[in-house]
Amino acid sequence: MVLAAPSATTPKPSPDTPPFIIAPTVEGLLACSDAEKDKSVATLAQAQAYCQQRKQNAAPALNSLLNTLEPGGPRGAVQIGYTVTLQLLALYRRTPQGWELDQAQVDNWMRLITDVQRPVVIYLSAGHFDTTGPLTDELLADPRNLMAMRDGKAPQLGYFGYRIAPYTLRTDSSLPVNRYRFAALDTVAKRILALPQPVRQRIVAVTLAGELHHLYTDFENGMGRHQEVRVTDYHPESIAEFRRWLAREYRTIDQYRSATGMVALRSFNEVPAPSRDIRKEALASYAEHYDAYADGNLPVSGWLWDPKGAVRRLQVYLNGQPLADVPRGFNRLDVYRAVPEITDPNVGFRYELDYRSLAPGRYRAQVIADTAQGPLEVAQTEFVVMGRDQKTPRSPTPPSASARPLKQLPGVRAWLDLPQPPQDLYYNPVARDWNRFRSQQAASFLAEFHRRALAAGLPAKWLFSHQIVPRANSTWNPQLFAMDDTLRGDAAWNHGLNMYGGMTDSAWMAGYLAANGIRGYGAPEFHPQQWKLPDVALRSLQRHQQAGARFVSPYYFTVVPPRFKGGEEHGVNRMELSPGNTKDGSDQFYRAIVEFARQ
């Protein structure tokens, strides 16, 4: 589902509504034109150092870019601004006295924000992407600063050539990485507040910390992994926090034993952080079992392309009986890319089947489409609920509902991704608590970062998160990220939700925002990544203006001088916005920004 194109009946913002800010992320903001002219400067890093020494930055180039997008300066119901990314750990430099904030670099950022008279979103990055400065090497060498996989080692990760640092989500301020993060936050906040009042009035938002979530193997491609999953955080101090959290949740070990059936546990200190797959590894106790389904949920997910709207609803049937409606409209950019005739990436469906109350045995799940021709089967699959004794249940072949195949409908295509039959399931209540704790850990770090930003004096109205929404993608495994608690509508911060692909124009996303009570949000990263239909990008901007978003930050523009840019193409630089970049519909998005800014 997408919004209709703007028309005379499209509701317009009232005169009292703040302007809708389009604040693109722009890379290369500390590089200056003089560095490009100096042939002795060979790299972007050298260019930035060269410019900083001369108290220069890319303000002239940025002003030129923004004036191209919105000539004559910011005005009207839609205004063009920009997003600056300050990597807090990258602000440090080594001195004879140790690591100190590079005040000259901070000065240069404040000078840029002062000189560019446009609305600005300030991204204070301090998560796993904050890795460009020299301090990172020292932090990575100290296990105290890092999350750990189950073997006790920090994951070795990258992202399209970018270094990833698995910084801890624990809030202990004595940890070196947190001392540096929190000190930089405090200093930068005070420098922002010291800016002249006209400059401060241009600040639309300050987004906090970056994408805070747990990590997993194969970071670039593994977000949909459901087999042989490996996650964080098994650092000994994190496990100790888990046990203290259990004690707060359950109060006594007897209550925990009663709630979980883990009667052999004599104290919370005996509760393991589950990490072993019962199918392949020896377990000291059943409480150690962990996999993608151990928390009691089985995703029934796939995709359905129905261009004529022949399918009125989808249902999941269990052993021949209807169980529930299946939510639809999830992002499936992978399907959009792979199948030429599919022109909308929001074709995913997913139902979370809670199997905790099912008795051990074999079960058949069917996805049935309700159509004018009667019920038609999209797909069916089998799974087996196992008991703790691991004995294969003796049960008859599960019954199925009678339905003709969906392929009888012309033009309709569908596929079931999960579960792959015959999926065996082992519910471990300790794994469920482990995932709950991990999500709470991510939310606690964001809450601490937010608390410190407020204590430093930054106004609450400025403070937004900078999070992704894994559940918007029907094949992703949200347990890998463990961050649902950061997205709660009752959070203290304003929500900043990164949106890519179909999420940018999605009925599912609109429903998610409404269900979670999320209003007055921002989108700190935003790119439709679509090219098959005209006006998709324009409609996506319209949707969020109408929904009351404070800002969106298109990802991304660059003012990096051409000779400092790398020539390798990857999944990130396909999204560089320019009139000549047709990859991922980036040229269409560019034109939509220009058109929308005329309001």
Can you tell me the mean pLDDT for 156-165? 89
Largest Cα separation within the chain, whole Å, is 79
Strand partners, 382: 364
Can you tell me the mean pLDDT for 557-582? 86
Residue (of 90, 101, 229) closest to 165 by Cα position: 90
Fold classification of 20-223+432-596 (topology level): TIM Barrel (3.20.20)
Can you tell me the mean pLDDT for 406-414? 93
In this prediction, residue 553 has a pLDDT band, given cuts at 50, 70 and 90, of: very high
pLDDT at 12: 53
pLDDT digits (tens, 9 = 90+) for 124-159: 999 999 999 999 999 999 999 999 999 999 999 998
> What number of other Cβ atoms are within 10 A of residue 414's Cβ?
23
- Please enumerate in sequence order all residues whose Cβ is within 8 A of that of 1, keeping only pairs 6 or more positions apart, or say none: 329, 346, 506, 507
CA-to-CA separations, 265 to 82, 235, 433, in angstroms, rounded: 55, 21, 15
Question: Residue 404 pLDDT > 90, yes or no?
Answer: yes
Fold classification of 297-425 (topology level): Immunoglobulin-like (2.60.40)
CA–CA dist 311, 325 (Å, integer): 13
Question: Residue 252 pLDDT > 70, yes or no?
Answer: yes
Question: Residue 518 pLDDT > 70, yes or no?
Answer: yes
Least confident of 1-5, 11-15, 591-595: 1-5
pLDDT at 15: 58
Question: Residue 562 pLDDT > 90, yes or no?
Answer: no
CA 5 from centre of chain: 28
In this prediction, residue 17 has a pLDDT band, given cuts at 50, 70 and 90, of: confident
CA–CA dist 156, 128 (Å, integer): 12
- Using DSSP, state whether 91 is helix, strand or coil: helix
Percentage of the chain beyond pLDDT 90 is: 90
pLDDT at 25: 98
Locate 250 and state its tokens.
């359950």
pLDDT at 5: 30
pLDDT digits (tens, 9 = 90+) for 48-80: 999 999 999 999 999 999 999 999 999 999 999
- Using DSSP, state whether 308 is helix, strand or coil: coil
Can you tell me the mean pLDDT for 509-534? 95
Question: Residue 11 pLDDT > 50, yes or no?
Answer: no
Can you tell me the mean pLDDT for 276-297? 96
Element (DSSP H or E) covering residue 551: strand 551-554
Residue (of 350, 358, 482) closest to 419 by Cα position: 350
How high does pLDDT run on average in the chain? 94
CA–CA dist 204, 523 (Å, integer): 12
pLDDT digits (tens, 9 = 90+) for 222-248: 999 999 999 999 999 999 999 999 999
In this prediction, residue 561 has a pLDDT band, given cuts at 50, 70 and 90, of: confident
Question: Residue 567 pLDDT > 90, yes or no?
Answer: no
Does the predicted TM-score (pTM) go above 0.75? yes
In this prediction, residue 486 has a pLDDT band, given cuts at 50, 70 and 90, of: very high
Question: Residue 7 pLDDT > 70, yes or no?
Answer: no
pLDDT at 563: 81
Hey, where are the domains in the chain? 20-223+432-596, 229-293, 297-425
Element (DSSP H or E) covering residue 263: none
Amino acid at 348: G
pLDDT at 6: 31
Locate 274 and state its tokens.
């589950």
pLDDT digits (tens, 9 = 90+) for 426-466: 999 999 999 999 999 999 999 999 999 999 999 999 999 99
Percentage of the chain beyond pLDDT 70 is: 96
